[in-house]
Amino acid sequence: MQHEKKPWPPTVGDEVGIKESKLRGSVIKTKGVSEARFRLQVPNQTKDGVKLSPGLARAARIASRWYGLDELEPIDEG
């Protein structure tokens, strides 16, 4: 089975990974063209609804910020 490749750069609503971390977030805003920036919302719970430990929840709050494209990576859905 082949996996569809998501378009890159991401757009509002896309889920992306944050390089050099295990965190994922959803793009909630974008700005710029030649040096695009992406605002992420990083959830403080897993997709199963399990709350993160206090340390990971703090990391999620800190990670909900603006990123450059070079700081993000596509998530392989397969």
The answer, yes or no, to whether residue 73 has pLDDT greater than 70, is yes
Q: What is the chain's alpha carbon radius of gyration, rounded to the nearest angstrom?
A: 13
Q: Is the dihedral of CA 9, 13, 1, 71 positive or negative?
A: positive
pLDDT digits (tens, 9 = 90+) for 21-61: 878 899 999 999 888 999 999 887 766 678 888 988 888 88
Kindly report whether the peptide bond that precedes residue 9 is cis, defined as omega within 30 degrees of 0.
Answer: yes
Task: Supply the pLDDT for residue 41.
Answer: 92
- Residues whose CB is less than 8 angstroms from the CB of residue 74 and which lie 6 or more positions away in sequence, other chains included: 5, 6, 8, 10, 16, 17
Domain ranges within the chain, ordered by starting residue: 15-74
1 pLDDT more than 50: no
